[in-house]
Chains A and B, each alone.
Chain A
Amino acid sequence: MNNLIKGEKHDWEMVIGLEIHAQVKSNSKLFSSSSTKFGSSPNSQVSLVDAAMPGMLPVINKYCVEQAVRTGVGLNAKINNYSVFDRKNYFYADLPQGYQISQYKYPVVGEGKVTIDFKDGTSKDIRIVRLHLEQDAGKSLHDQNPSKTYVDLNRSGVALMEIVSEPDIRTPDEAGMYISKIRSILMYLDTCDGNMQEGSLRADVNISVRKPGDEYGTRCEIKNLNSIKFIKQAINYEAKRQIEILESGGSIEQNTMLFNTSTGKTRPMRNKEEAHDYRYFPDPDLLPLEISQEEIEEIKSSIPELPDELKNKFIKIYKLSNYDASVLTADKQTSDYFNKSINSDPELKNHAKIIVNWITSELFSLLNKNNFELINSPVPPENLGQLVKLICTNEISGKIAKEVLEDMFSTKKSAREIVDKKGLKQVTDQGEIEKVIDEVIADNQKMVEQYLDGKDKLLGFFVGQAMKLTKGKANPKILNDILKEKLNKKD
């Protein structure tokens, strides 16, 4: 695969690493018992600890630690029995303590890896450097008053997992696939709700460019991207910017960038003089975090089936391709839907590929068009299974099935009900089809002559006419066979 991008002078390769910030799915914050509910009125979920009142102390929320360990297991990563919370010191209005409690030298989770799958059937491992727990900051609201900034501390202290990858990513697409894969794993594990719009999942992108084979170039970090589309856009823009600088003889200054979603451009966030010295040191209010091997094993044993396991299972049981299986398992909703669908009738087992197609193309396009999530699909998985069964048993044709599905979608009725009520059952009766064909031949003598003169393509015309007369219900194979037979007899 060619991952290189053309510059004016030569080809360049992107080197990309991601830091994903995933909000831990937990009812309460990392070091306090305040609620983490999204969208509550400002400062309604703030404890004395979150507001950093004098003498208030953090107490670790064990559930958040378990969630991090669970995530670590899902990322095939090493879980550290000993980790330490550090303070990252800096001043900001929405950082009440004047420091963020994070993990610096000793993260709770060490090296791991995730696999991304390409359309061509190949796949690639992206290595994870670490995962650590940290507190989120509050929110500064600059648009509530012409001269004042307001601070909302609801988010202050909410637990985040920062997942850091090695610079193993080479294209914007890979970056997108990587973050989708992480999101998928988190959602399977139920350790993060994966909601990028609400900011539950966001990423910082580190990117540099180099001539293939060269050492890594100087990188820039693009902060706080909250959609896959923006991540790709930002990478493309930033890579182009860096290449232009390098090709005109300049050099890249290591910098932190912000991405403007309306212009599609990156710009430096702060200059060098403002560079922070975070003065990390172990938080003396907290003891080191110790997790026993037994606790880790217990968490491991409670881990649900993850996308890669499920993918391999689907490949094995249903003989699906690697790519189909990975599309199906990318999202827990999709794999759940597929599972329910295929298990709704024992005869469907051998028609997995057809079910995949009907889910990922027809159903998805209907859902998209109508702004539905799969979980709220008006067509329940059992009904889709029934529809596929009707196709596989030749009761309806694929073309009719599309109409039926649209009907099912809008009326919420079952496939069988619609087919019966509308009389859409495929005509497979030989005699009936023959009758129709005779009629078509009789009505179109001129065309028959042309066909017999060698214009084979006209076969389609006769099929069309016959279908029209049967309202599309004729079994296409039988129709074709009889038609050919009859026409050729005339010869």
Chain B
Amino acid sequence: MSKSSLKQTLQDLESKKISIRELNQDYLKRIKEKENLNVFIHFSEDNILKQIDNLEKDNSTKKLKGIPIAIKDLFCTKSMPTTAASKILQNFNPTYESFVTQKLLDEGSIFIGKTNLDEFAMGSATNTSFFGNTINPLSKENEPLAPGGSSGGSAAAVAADLCLGATGTDTGGSIRQPASFCGVVGIKPTYGLCSRWGIAAFASSLDQAGIFSHNVEDASILLQSIAGFDQRDSTSAKVDIPNYFENLDDDLNGKTVGIPKEYSIDGTPMEISQIWEDAIKVLEKKGVEVKNISLPHTKYALPTYYIIAPAEASSNLARYDGVKYGFRSDEIDSLDAMYENTRAQGFGREVKRRILIGTYVLSAGYYDAYYLKAQKVRKLIADDFNKAFKECDFIVTPTAPSAAFPLNEKQSDPIKMYLNDVFTVPASLAGLPGISIPFGKDKNNLPLGIQILGKHFDEQQVFNVALSLERSYE
């Protein structure tokens, strides 16, 4: 299966080598062939054909005109329902378009469908969705693998070549880990680079939109399209967005890479340590100085994350109460009964678990010991990175502690599942940009990912390193 890149496709469209219709029909065909992967929560051929019709009538030049993009079903879209993979938002049709998807529409892209995810983005395997598991396209016949999560549908959509790019959201690793599992590129930009307006919230201080793509160049093109200040999001950053693609430069000579010793964790598979070393060697060869750095509070990142994220989630998800929109239980003898039954029946297990954790850590008497302390530790973790970035230009680590695992393997043990985020969560807490690119395979020939972390709003550096590693690997 040879996948054409976004960059190549844009050239082919430009030179009329292929029409928008031909291009998308090709993708439509593949989507239908791959229905068994359960990549999409919402997919409508009619809707796609209508978008093609409209674009054919449109004579203006648009940067992404006709490019099929898959949208994580956490982004509110006017033309398609939005569920957050939850029963509680079943049949919810937003009257508004999220900032990120509006930007993609403005540039002429075609929304190929809404991709599956963990319910409200809570999970690491896309197995908590009300609409069933997504299957990793790299699975062998008899052994279905998890695509990672929470943006597993989007990662799988790119991996199975069902689109030329996809949006995701990353709260603690929800773009980078599934990118690693599915062998694609996934970037989570700096917190604040892309507006959160119109994305159903999981944990507001961590949620950030990002991109999946076949390669680094494509990611740089797409990220530029969705980034930018939005006055409707108070945490949106007023920064100039460079032309990442035009500025790509794989010459890293004279740069310094930081290698954090705390990311060497006991029990990490050999293969992962191996690709990490390989990546460092490649960088060394390119004239990059290798510096061993320390991020001393790394070990507290996971517990900190699993206090802050559920705390915010417990409050963010309070709006799903059966009063205004979405699912409402039939058993509504009283107001309390309506809340209890609607939320008991409307949310899945993992979401309920996190609401309970979040409610607990914010309760009177526990707030100081959990939430407040977690906020202090979060600050220490961010300070670790700030100090480290005085000594290095970027940091390289593995993306996830394993390759894609078989579906259902870790379902019964939430703690084991949470450990998937061990390498991705610290940068989330610090709000830093991170990318995962495929870099090597394990013994079962499954892809493994390398993570590159940069300074705040230094996505360009992250892309440059990723491009350099990608080229060396190819």
Contact = CB atoms under 8 A, between A and B. Distances in A.
A92 B359 CA distance: 17
B239 to A, nearest CB: 15
Contacts of A452: none
Interface stretch (B10-18, B30-38, B289-297, B315-323): B315-323
Contact of A91 (B196, B311, B318, B363): B318
B367 interface: yes
B76 interface: yes
Contacts of B319: 52, 54, 96-98
Contacts of A279: 314-315, 359, 362-364, 367
Given A54-B89, A93-B335, A98-B315, A285 B234 contact: yes
Given A52-B324, A54-B82, A285-B204, A59 B232 contact: yes
Contacts of A214: none
Interface residues of B, number: 43
Contact of B367 (A87, A281, A284): A281
A176 interface: no
A311 B339 CA distance: 54
Interface string B191-217: 000001111110111000000000000
Interface centre among A54, A149, A277 (most CB of B within 10 A): A54
Given A52-B324, A151-B323, A279-B359, A57 B315 contact: no
A43 to B, nearest CB: 10
Contact of B315 (A51, A99, A277, A286): A99
Contact of B84 (A54, A60, A99, A277): A54
A149 B338 CA distance: 13
B318 A54 contact: no
A287 B234 contact: yes
B371 interface: yes
Give the contact-size bracket for chain A.
20 to 34
B236 to A, nearest CB: 9
Nearest to A277: B364
B473 interface: no
Given A54-B92, A98-B315, A98-B318, A286 B234 contact: yes
Contact of B318 (A53, A89, A93, A151): A89
Interface in A105-144: none
Interface in B284-331: 311-312, 314-315, 317-319, 321, 323-325
A55 B198 contact: yes
A60 B315 CA distance: 19
B318 A55 contact: no
Scoring B95, B96, B234, B321 by chain A CB atoms within 10 A of each residue's CB, the highest score goes to B234
B89 A97 contact: no
Interface in B334-372: 335, 339, 359, 362-364, 367, 371
B233 interface: yes
Given A91-B339, A97-B318, A281-B362, A53 B325 contact: yes
Interface string A271-307: 0000001011100111100000000000000000000
Interface in B210-261: 231-235
A378 interface: no
Interface string B372-398: 000000000000000000000000000
Contacts of B315: 87, 89, 98-99, 279, 281
Nearest to B120: A54
Interface string A42-72: 0000001001111111111000000000000
A240 B241 CA distance: 67
The listed residue with most A CB atoms (<10 A of its CB), out of B96, B324, B339, is B324
- Tell me whether chain A's interface is mostly helix, strand or loop, or mixed: loop
Nearest to B371: A281
Given A279-B315, A281-B311, A287-B235, A55 B205 contact: no
Contacts of A92: 335
B402 interface: no
B94 interface: yes
A279 B84 CA distance: 25
B399 interface: no
Nearest to A85: B234
Contact of A96 (B76, B323, B339): B323
B98 interface: yes
Contacts of A52: 319, 324
A55 B367 contact: no
B204 A284 contact: yes
A87 B315 CA distance: 8
Contacts of A51: 324
Contacts of B84: 54
Interface in A314-333: none
B205 A284 contact: yes
A56 to B, nearest CB: 8
A184 to B, nearest CB: 35
Contacts of A96: 319, 323-324
B87 to A, nearest CB: 14
A402 to B, nearest CB: 59
B338 to A, nearest CB: 8
A97 B363 CA distance: 19
A284 B312 contact: yes
A60 to B, nearest CB: 7
A155 to B, nearest CB: 15
Nearest to B364: A277
Contact of A48 (B96, B234, B321, B363): B96
B234 A59 contact: yes
7 contacts: A52-B324, A54-B92, A56-B198, A57-B232, A97-B318, A279-B315, A284-B235
Given A48-B96, A149-B335, A280-B362, 9 more contacts: A54-B76, A57-B196, A57-B234, A58-B234, A279-B367, A281-B315, A281-B367, A285-B235, A287-B235
Interface of A: 48, 51-60, 87, 89, 91-93, 96-99, 149, 151, 277, 279-281, 284-287
State the 3 A-B residue pairs at the shortest beta-carbon distance, nearest first.
Answer: A98-B318, A284-B204, A279-B362
